[in-house]
Amino acid sequence: MSEVPHHVIELAEQRVKARAERDYALADELRARIEHEGWLVKDAPDGYTLSEKPPYTIWPTVRSIPITGATDAGPPRHLNPRAVGPTSGTGRDTTGGGEGSAGGTAGGAGAQQDPAAELGFSGDPQSSGAPEDDMLHAQRIWDASLAANRLDDAGVNQQRQRAEIADVTVSVGLIADGRPDDVRACVEALLEHTDAAVLALDLGNRDGVGDVLHEFATRRPERVTVWHVAELPHWFWGSAGWGACRTTLLRLDTSDVHVLMETSTILTGDALTPLTAAIQRGAVAAGWKGADPDADGHTWYEAGPGRVRALMGYLMAVRRAEALAAMPQEARYYRNADLELSLGLDGELVVPQETLPVHGLRHHGYHDVDEDYRERESRRTYDRVLRLLRPS
């Protein structure tokens, strides 16, 4: 960092005096003059700190970001009508694709190495030391062909899904609250494996995460848009709540499908196409992980593939217009807010049948937050979830 010029320090000292005399108009004027000189002043318990002004606009709060290009009303431009009334709710591809649980499909990782072996069939007939047997050899060829055909079906299914959503616009919303290495890995994977736009909200440039996002926005402006705010996240001693941040990202978006994603979620392939295809087929939302409640609603269990009662916010695609109406803006912390959002959505929520190419890093938003705060805010949100679960 460069040395702070003497005249900037003088301006900062004058601002301290103005604040002590409650002359807040002068203090604001001095802050503006300091920023004009290329520096930022922040109040601190022992006075103030000065730092170089970054090369991007910083809004004072999330709510101060101007919403200019978004449209909150109107039907999605390129989505089929959502499913209403009783439906099969399987979320499965009925014209191709795998069977069984979400634990593995023909298109899973490593399948290209040895298609027959990965699917439980015989391998290369030359790999066995057994005597050549025409019947056995023919069976091995048949097994390998069947395995390859299943992989072909999976490939055809993927291409069909891409064609199905060719005109659907998709954006991914990220809340960046620190951990720049995670954010870099998350955004790089999105750029590599998807065509979705990335909309990021930088809360306070914690650990320099705003600078990392600015690098992406500068390098890939056609894909990455970032809004920087001085406000810190509520879960890290600030005032920016999760619901307010998510609502702002939704309102800044103009896409048909908006994807809620944690920066600890890393794609290893195109996980967004199956989610978007499920929405195009009529679901209101589709996600990586689902959950269903027990009878009294006090315990939730992992659910899916197929229709589920709720989707987890680690990776969740939703019709943007529907999400705007259901987003719990009063939620200050993420935990249980995804359940509240899910219960507020009117329509079918599904987990796709195929295993999505996704893995999760350590969720710092849970583990690194003060335990008392985490439990208090989680309970506050869950009380609203219970009210939504009660019969009307």
Looking at residues 188-216, what average pLDDT do you find? Answer: 97
The CATH number given to whatever domain includes residue 217 is 3.90.550.10
Residues of the chain with pLDDT > 70, as a percent, come to 79
pLDDT in tens, 9-67: 999 999 999 999 999 999 999 999 998 999 989 888 888 999 888 889 999 999 999 98
pTM (two decimals): 0.75
The gap from C-alpha 373 to its chain's centroid, in whole angstroms, comes to 23
Pair (347, 211) in one structural domain: yes
The amino acid present at 185, given as its one-letter code, is A
Say if CB 283 and CB 350 are below 8 A apart: yes
The Cα–Cα gap between 322 and 143 comes to: 46
Q: Which domain holds residue 137?
A: 115-163
Residues 137 and 170 reside in one and the same domain: no
Per-residue pLDDT band at 207 (split at 50, 70, 90): very high
Whether 265 is covered by a domain: the verdict is yes
| Per-residue pLDDT reduced to its tens digit, 108-123 | 333 333 333 333 333 3
Q: Are residues 221 and 196 part of one domain?
A: yes
- Please count the structural domains in the chain: 3
